[in-house]
Amino acid sequence: MSLHRIVCAFIAAAILLACTAAGAAAVKLPDPATDEPAANVKGERTAVLAGGCFWGVEAVFEHVRGVKGVWSGYSGGTSSTAQYEMVGTGRTGHAESVQIVYDPSQITYGQLLKIFFSVAHDPTELNRQGPDEGTQYRSAIFFANEEQRRVAQAYVDQLNGAKVFKHKIVTEIAPLKGFYRAEDYHQDFVAHNPTHPYVAYNDLPKISSLRKQFPEIFINK
């Protein structure tokens, strides 16, 4: 067998193992008891969420019906430090984040949070996600207005009260002061690099879990 085929077989096995493991670990959550009202007229609203490395979180929401666009970037710090190398030091206040533009007539803010908490990341890990450690990988919801803050806090309280996770949710709920798009090579990273070892082990399983848990809103891309 050629070296190329051996490498491809190894990658395929790793992807299968990762998807199986992550799919089993994903958590089924109740719908938010408090949510924004569904809009009758098509329009655009924006959500900014942070859940570890932005590659996988971005990839999850790119497969959600009603989402019009997703971008990787940085939130929590200033524009002068919104650079990958600087954010990676963990001293800028930024978290790797995603900006989600969505149609509220197709999906609500609360439904986005349900996906965020159930398959996009683990909200009980403090300042880390999987192999990535540091405040730049913290779990955070950056709310743009009072309605988003109210929905986010109510859902966190609801999930903690129902004890759906083994540990308490540590997600930060903070006002959005700015979102700064990451460098071009970070955008659509999973779609462009599906065989990257990090992607295969950490990110593709999230998409698999989304497809399994939310088949009614999952879209292939």
Average pLDDT, the chain: 90
19 assigned to active site: no
Pairing of strands 139-143, 45-51: antiparallel
Domain containing residue 162: CATH number:
3.30.1060.10
Q: Answer whether residue 13 is part of any domain.
A: no
Q: What is the pLDDT of residue 25?
A: 53
CA distance 103 to 111: 12
Q: Answer whether residue 177 is part of any domain.
A: yes
CA distance 47 to 27: 22
DSSP string for 116-130? IIIII--TTSSSEET
Q: Kindly report which listed range (24-33, 112-121, 197-206) carries the lowest average pLDDT score.
A: 24-33
Catalytic residue among 29, 48, 53, 82: 53
Q: What is the pLDDT of residue 182?
A: 98
Domain total in the chain: 1
Q: Answer whether residue 109 is part of any domain.
A: yes
Q: Answer whether residue 7 is part of any domain.
A: no
Q: Answer whether residue 111 is part of any domain.
A: yes
**Nearest alpha carbon to residue 112 among 124, 98, 126, 125:** 98
Cβ count within 10 A of residue 42? 11
Q: Answer whether residue 21 is part of any domain.
A: no
Beta bridge partner(s), residue 181: 73
Give the chain's length.
Answer: 221
Q: Answer whether residue 213 is part of any domain.
A: no
pLDDT tens digits for 176-194?
A: 999 999 999 999 999 999 9
What average pLDDT does range 8-23 have in this prediction? 41
Give the domain extent around 170.
29-189
**134 CB-contact burial (10 Å; exposed 0-12 / middle 13-18 / buried 19+):** middle
pLDDT at 4 exceeding the cut of 80: no
Q: Answer whether residue 56 is part of any domain.
A: yes
- Between CA 50 and CA 164, with CA 98 as vertex, the angle to 5 degrees is 40
pTM reported for the whole predicted model:
0.89
pLDDT at 21 exceeding the cut of 60: no
pLDDT tens digits for 94-142?
A: 999 999 999 999 999 999 999 999 999 999 999 999 999 999 999 999 9
